[in-house]
């Protein structure tokens, strides 16, 4: 189905501020001509908060300043020629939600005080995401989902509005994470850990690091048992054995007075 047919099928959705039916792999604005069609079909232009752009034509970004472009880098096979970088986002101060899939353009070039939700995905194992950069760039962030090797996770405690943190396939320094959980100014209410590994160093973990996961997770539970903001805690780990002891789990449940939701999907040891 061509781009015109797809746009007409979902035209009613353009009255909303978010378009849930448009995804980069279902409707791709690949050429400047596609964007011209989009521009003509809807006049006056809807006040969009999100629209996906998947193309190689940099002219689209600069030629249509009345549209808000929501970028997702998805073409790993052309990462050396992908022309769009974070600072080229149009009307970026209106964006409330952003998905950024890192190929060769780092999100540190982009900053916004209006952004509330950020999903940041880095599949390249050699890349380390410094969360202090995200902290400085998105002061009003409420929800952060990240998949990457990360450092300086304790800096997230400076985000006074941050309520939800989700780590998926993250490799993180355990000391920095514990420091975040123990910060008095940290008001995170929801923590989700999915297939995430904690290490003493930022380098890729070896076998001994995997064996130490129980000790690291026990320390996490100990810190959370004294946390007065946590309401939801989820661990989804179907690769490694149960990462904490039964005794520490009981102490955590007895010690934390604010927890209302606990979710676990674990492999038995």
What pLDDT is stored for residue 41 in this prediction? 61
What pLDDT is stored for residue 114 in this prediction? 80
What pLDDT is stored for residue 17 in this prediction? 36
What pLDDT is stored for residue 193 in this prediction? 94
What pLDDT is stored for residue 13 in this prediction? 44
What pLDDT is stored for residue 230 in this prediction? 95
Extract the residue ranges of the chain whose pLDDT is less than 70: 1-32, 34-35, 37-95, 103-106, 108-109, 202-211, 238-243, 266-269
Quote the pTM value. 0.69
- The residue ranges of every structural domain in the chain are 1-94, 116-269
**pLDDT over 70 percentage in the chain:** 54
pLDDT tens per residue, range 136-161:
989 999 999 999 999 999 999 999 99
What pLDDT is stored for residue 105 in this prediction? 58
What pLDDT is stored for residue 261 in this prediction? 94
Question: Domain 116-269, what fold?
Answer: 3.80.10
DSSP assignment of the chain, as one string? --HHHHHHHTGGGGGSSS-TT--TTTS---SHHHHHHHHHHSSSPP--S--EE--S-THHHHH-TTSPPEE----GGGTTT----GGG-TTGGG--EEEEEESS--GGG---SS--EEEEEE--TT-EEEHHHHHHH-TT--EEEEESEEE-GGGGGG-TT--EEEEES-EEEHHHHHHHHH-TT----EEEEES-EEESSSSPP-HHHHHTHHHHHHHHHHHHTT-SS--EEEEEEEEEEP-S-HHHHHHHHHH-SS--EEEEEEE--
């Amino acid at each position: 189905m061509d781009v015109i047919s797809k746009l007409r099928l979902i035209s009613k959705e353009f009255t909303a501020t978010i378009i849930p039916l448009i995804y980069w792999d279902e409707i791709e604005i690949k050429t400047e001509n596609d964007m011209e069609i989009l521009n003509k079909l809807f006049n006056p232009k809807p006040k969009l908060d999100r629209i996906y752009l998947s193309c190689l034509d940099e002219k689209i970004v600069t030629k249509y300043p009345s549209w808000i472009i929501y970028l997702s880098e998805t073409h790993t096979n052309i990462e050396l020629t992908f022309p769009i970088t974070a600072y080229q986002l149009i009307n970026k101060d209106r964006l409330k939600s952003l998905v950024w899939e890192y190929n060769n353009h780092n999100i540190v070039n982009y900053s916004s005080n209006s952004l509330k939700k950020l999903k940041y995905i880095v599949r390249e194992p050699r890349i380390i995401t410094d969360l202090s950069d995200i902290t400085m760039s998105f002061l009003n962030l409420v929800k952060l989902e990240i998949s990457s090797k990360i450092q300086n996770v304790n800096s997230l405690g400076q985000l006074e509005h941050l309520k939800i943190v989700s780590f998926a396939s993250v490799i993180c320094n355990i000391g920095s994470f514990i420091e975040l959980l123990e910060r008095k100014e940290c008001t995170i209410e929801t923590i989700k850990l999915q297939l995430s590994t904690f290490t003493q160093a930022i380098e890729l973990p070896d076998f001994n690091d995997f064996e130490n996961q129980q000790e690291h997770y026990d320390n996490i539970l100990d810190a959370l048992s004294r946390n007065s903001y946590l309401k939801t805690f989820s661990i989804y780990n179907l690769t490694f054995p149960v990462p904490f002891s039964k005794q520490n789990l009981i102490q955590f449940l007895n010690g934390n007075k604010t927890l209302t939701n606990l979710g676990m999907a674990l492999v038995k040891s």
